[in-house]
Amino acid sequence: MVLADSVIDTSLDSTTKEASRYLTDLSEIRQAFLIYRDQRSKLIIRFANDSSMFTARLLDVTDEDLLLEDLQPRSGLSLLRTATEFSLSGRAQGQYVMADNNVVHKASAERGVPYFHVTLPTSLLYQQRRREQRISLSFDVQGSGASITIPASTTNGSSIRGELVDISSGGCRILCTLEDTKHLQDQSLIEGCKLFIHDHLQLTSSVQIRHSSIDNSQNSQQCGLEFIRMSVTDRRRLEQFVQANAKQQG
């Protein structure tokens, strides 16, 4: 067994502190890792029989795998490629996670940049203290023409074009007319959505409607969408756009 730095940070006020627990439901484990993907937060990697500490980032989280990239120092790449067992841990937005006994089962590359498939852990030490903060679009980006198109096959009619209100690496919020959204329901999974931000970004993703709210006075509905599946190329484009936009706002 590989041991990681599993000490839980207890420095926050007790009113915000939540006891640590182990997650065993794969959907909950996947959800816990999404913040590390969306915030580009570093994970700490410790290999078996090696005292060195490495860091990596999550390119994506699929139904079965974690996709690791940007391992630092690069000397650890050979250990990943030879399926050396490792632990991973991280702290982001008040959340702590730790899982051991991990190995890479597949190595891939996109435009020459390597990434590694690691089976989603079946047990995860977890602690959550506060919620993730969404990264909003700047006014300039919103005004340039930013939208997401939901295909007609989902709406039993014409395709829906929703105006992008904000976006992060994990999802976005859109504004539509009530007439357009009458066939959409919360938790619906929608394939083949097209996201477009003029002169900035164009990609395709499956999305899930996580929540919605209606404003009858404006004949409109806002929907919070989570990006579920997209290509590695589109995932990198999205992350680069979000990071650049966040710097402009900061």
pLDDT in the model for residue 178:
76
46 Cβ contact partners less than 8 Å away, ≥ 6 residues apart: 2, 3, 4, 5, 52, 53, 54, 86, 87, 88
pLDDT band with cut points at 50, 70 and 90 for residue 130: very low
Q: Is the pTM of this model over 0.95?
A: no
pLDDT band with cut points at 50, 70 and 90 for residue 14: very low
Average pLDDT over residues 75-95: 92
Alpha-carbon distance of 45 to 99, in angstroms, equals 10
Average pLDDT over residues 154-162: 75
Q: Which domains does the chain have, with CATH numbers?
A: 21-128 (2.30.110.10), 139-249 (2.40.10.220)
More confident residue, 25 or 217: 25
* β-pair partners for 227: 207
More confident residue, 32 or 7: 32
More confident residue, 52 or 118: 118
Say how many CA atoms lie within 13 Å of 161 toward its Cβ: 5
Alpha-carbon distance of 18 to 198, in angstroms, equals 43
- pLDDT value at 8 more than 60: no
Alpha-carbon distance of 117 to 85, in angstroms, equals 13
Average pLDDT over residues 209-230: 87
Average pLDDT over residues 157-162: 82
Residue pair 59/41 in contact (Cβ under 8 Å)? The answer is no
Q: Which two tokens stand for residue 198?
A: 């003029």
- pLDDT value at 155 more than 60: no
